[in-house]
Homo-oligomer: A and B are copies of this chain.
Amino acid sequence: MQIRPATEADHAAVLAIVAPTLKAGETYAMRRDFSDAETLDYWFGPTHEVFVAEDDGVILGTYYLMANQQGGGAHVANCGYMTAPAAQGKGIARAMCEHSLIRAKERGFRAMQFNHVVSTNGRAVALWQKLGFDIVGTLPLAFNHPVNGYVDSYVMFRALS
C-alpha cells in the first residue's frame, strides 16, 4: 500500500468513500445531505491537502490535512480520515494517521488536534490514543448520533516532536 497526494483522477474513488460516511452521519459533524459535488467541494476544499491510500490500484482510504486555526493557531494541524467500509480493520486508518503526522511535521506544524471525535466511535478513539493523542477535552452531548442520540465528543491533541 502506498499513500500519495490525491489527484483529480481520484475524485470518483474518494467520493465512493466520503459520501456514504457523511450520509451515515455517525462520525463527522457535517451535513448528511450533501450532493456529490458538495461532498467533493468539502473534501477537496481550498485549505485541504488531500491524500489517498492505494493498494494495487484500488483506493482504500483518504485523508485531508489542514491548519486547524489561522493566525496564532496556525501551527496546529487538523486531519480527517476515512477508510472504505470493505477495507476496515486492515490498518489503513493507522497508516494514514502515521503518514499525516510525518507530513504535518514536514510542513512545520507543531501539534495536531481533532476537534470533534464522537465518543461512540470507539475504534477511532482507541487508535488515536495508541498514536499518541490525548483526550484533552470532553464536549458534553455535543453530537447527535442517528442511532444513539446525544453523545459526548472528544477533543484530542498531540504535540509533534
B157 touches A75 (CB 8 A): no
Interface membership of A142, Cβ < 8 A: yes
- Which listed residue, B69, B141, B159, touches A116 by the CB 8 Å rule? B69
Q: Provide the bound-state CA to CA distance between A159 and B142, in Å.
A: 10
A137 partner, pick from B143, B144, B155, B159, beta carbons under 8 A: B155
- By a CB distance below 8 angstroms, the chain B residues around A74 are 29, 144
On whether the beta carbons of B116 and A32 are closer than 8 Å, the reply is no
Tell me the minimal C-beta distance from A144 to chain B in angstroms.
5
> Does A118 contact B31, Cβ atoms closer than 8 Å?
no
- The oligomer's copy count stands at 2
Is A71 a contact of B142 with CB atoms below 8 Å?
Answer: no
The answer to the question of A87 belonging to the interface, with a C-beta cut-off of 8 Å to chain B, is: no
Most B CB contacts (10 A, CB to CB) among A72, A138, A142, A145 go to A72
A136 interfacial by beta-carbon distance below 8 Å: yes
Q: Which 3 A-B pairs have the closest CB atoms?
A: A137-B137, A29-B73, A29-B69
Q: A29-B69, A73-B153, A136-B137 are in contact. List 8 more A-B contacts (CB 8 A).
A: A28-B71, A31-B70, A69-B116, A72-B144, A113-B139, A137-B137, A141-B159, A155-B155
